[in-house]
Chain A
Amino acid sequence: MTQTEQEIREVWVEDETMRVNMGPQHPSTHGVLRLRVEVDGEVVVNVEPHVGYLHTGIEKQAETLNWIQCVTDVTRADYLSNFFNELAYCTAVEQLAGVEIPPRAQWIRILLCEFNRITSHLVWLATGGLELGALSMATYAFREREQILDLYQAITGVRMNHGYFRPGGVSMDIRPDHCKQIRDLLDVLPKRFREYEEFLSNNPIWVRRNRNVGVLKAEDAIKLGVTGPTLRACGIPHDLRKVSDYLPYDKFEFDVPIGEVGDCYDRFLVRMRELFESLRIIEQAIDGMPSGEFRAAGKLVPPPRNRLPVSMEAVIHHFKLYTDGPHVPAGEVYVAVESPRGELGYFVASDGRGRPWRVHIRAPSFVNLQVAPLVAPGYLLADLIAILASIDPVMGDVDR
């Protein structure tokens, strides 16, 4: 071996770390996420997420739509938790306009949001299981998700991207047959979820892939602004449903599950228990569903259909609402709700006209994804998949 060859070996082969591109078209990166991973053999040295492959300009688009149309735009941001996007946006508009929504609308919103938390967590369970080799989890979890999507279809008309929450309430009332459908689901779901928990939480392969992998310390989580199940897995019982009043969650009884270590397994357990807590809330919501109006009166919502043939004023109101949009008083407001991934915040600014001046989405996935470069180094490349799955980023939410 010549001198040069030896030098090359020393510099380029012996100490070499390799750069691997994961994604953007990779089945285990949760959509179109590209990771530039630096590996030393099998061990991750550095992770650099590159995002933006799913950027669709939702915030820019929102500025061209009126306040009601905007709902159908923002609901597409996080396509797995549509109701939360609508909820945060509508709450922000209602705060700007000073509108209080009636109790029935609040209860319907809680009901659907908790169902949405379940469907979102089920997708996490399905894809997370798929990525770590628990293939049958994908078929099981999607089966239950299908049933709940059928319920969405019955209530809102569509399975995803509903546009159902509107500023001032919801677009349609729920009917008694929906309640029956929900009760049928409530009979089935707890049994199934217990099955899944047994299926995974004591599965030796699952435990070994997740235990003590991707440990996130609580102080790091706070520094990075991490919220949601990822934060609660670190042992911090922070849940906006308990401390915030965007919906009357104080009338409901539920627990906030927390973890101890902050590893992937804790994140799995926290989300798994949240499924049951959401079921508890749904049960209470359907039992205590108040009667009355499903949307507020006033200029933010259309007039009742039966007023249109008899009242000129109602016709004018209807026409103005669907052409120009409701005029929302000028101001800025930031509203945060607890989405399945953490704090979903909407910063909405109005200049007093029929269109939002600015809609900014504080996406929980976007913030939580910053955790990956922090926790992944030192673990195996295969563990990176487990870490990503446990953070549960949705690229539609990250890129907006």
Chain B
Amino acid sequence: MTSAAEYDATLRERFPDLAVAATDELDMPTIVVPGERIVAVLEFLRDEFGFTMLMDLSACDWLGREPRYHVNYHLYSMDSNLRVRVKVQLPDVPEPHVPSAVPAFAAADWHEREVFDFFGIVFDGHPNLARILMPDEWIGHPLRKDYPVGGVPVEYRIEPAYVGENVVPRDTRQGGVPVRLRSDRGRLSHMTWTGPPASGVPVHKPTEPEEISEEGKDS
């Protein structure tokens, strides 16, 4: 059982109501399965063909194509040293749903959490579908193609007293990063730097304590 035609024939026989399509790809046969019956297909492949290991579960965002999200299950059979890719294609909706593969393969647990974390694909029936690599309170799903690179606000602040009267409003064009953060090298390095500040940076003047709290509000 190596070629895609055989998977195709067997799966069509077993799941006559399912639109299954298997093709030989560059590296391994690829079976495209509708999402709702993925667990049954995975269990069938595991029991009939001996694909006992779920090696990898990942997703790919083909923004601009329809269906947009591809979830790839890479199965491996240790006995026959064969691999097969099962692919579920999901439409371009804010929260695509696919049944969790954990009942068929325990290994899917963390992989599905990772895909949820990075792509926002919800695996129904997963025992603990929480973010795994990004912080829990993170907004957005970073590996989606419409998530920008470098669009994350800088998470540190300068001492309000140190900014002095030089607080600049946020520049929205820069993805929410305050402009002053880009030009205050000289001030940030006040612990070690004893020379003149970087060009354009006014020399720091100590401010009164009550003024500090005033400026702390809008910085």
Contacts and interface: CB of A to CB of B under 8 A. Distances in A.
Interface of A: 51-52, 55, 57, 59-61, 63-64, 95-96, 222-225, 227, 236, 238, 243-244, 331-336, 343, 345, 347, 349, 357-358, 360, 362, 366-367, 369-370, 399-400
Dominant SS among interface residues on chain B: loop
B25 A332 contact: yes
B56 A345 contact: yes
Q: For the complex, would chain A's binding face be called helix, strand, loop or mixed by DSSP majority?
A: mixed
Contacts of B55: 225, 227, 336, 343, 345, 362
A222 B133 contact: no
Interface string B111-124: 10010001000000
A51 B133 contact: yes
Contacts of A96: 26
B149 interface: yes
Contacts, number: 93
B42 interface: no
B53 to A, nearest CB: 5
B85 interface: yes
B53 A222 contact: yes
Interface string B52-79: 1111101011100000000010100010
B28 interface: yes
Contacts of A59: 118, 143
A331 B53 contact: no
18 contacts: A52-B131, A52-B134, A60-B142, A222-B53, A223-B107, A236-B78, A332-B25, A332-B60, A334-B28, A343-B55, A345-B55, A347-B56, A347-B74, A357-B60, A358-B61, A362-B55, A366-B110, A370-B109
B44 interface: no
Contacts of A227: 55
Given A51-B132, A223-B105, A60 B149 contact: yes
A367 B107 contact: yes
A360 B105 CA distance: 20
B27 A333 contact: yes
Contacts of B114: 366
A50 to B, nearest CB: 9
Nearest to B87: A332
Contacts of B131: 52
A361 to B, nearest CB: 9
A57 B110 CA distance: 17
Contacts of B134: 52, 55
Given A52-B132, A222-B78, 10 more contacts: A57-B142, A95-B26, A222-B53, A334-B74, A334-B83, A345-B56, A349-B60, A357-B62, A358-B60, A370-B109
Interface of B: 25-28, 52-56, 58, 60-62, 72, 74, 78, 81, 83, 85, 105-107, 109-111, 114, 118, 131-135, 142-143, 147, 149
B133 A238 contact: no
B68 to A, nearest CB: 13
The residue among A222, A369, A400 with the most chain B CB atoms within 10 A of its own CB is A222
Contacts of B28: 334
Contact of A225 (B25, B26, B107, B143): B107
Contacts of A63: 149
Please name the 7 residue pairs, one residue from A and one from B, whose CB atoms are nearest each other, closest first.
A225-B107, A52-B133, A362-B56, A360-B58, A55-B133, A333-B27, A358-B60
Given A96-B26, A224-B106, A360 B132 contact: no
A225 B105 CA distance: 9
Given A60-B142, A332-B26, A347 B107 contact: no
Contact of B133 (A349, A358, A400): A400
A331 B28 CA distance: 12
Contacts of A236: 78
Nearest to A399: B133
A363 to B, nearest CB: 10
A250 to B, nearest CB: 13
Given A51-B132, A225-B55, A60 B110 contact: no
A361 B60 CA distance: 12
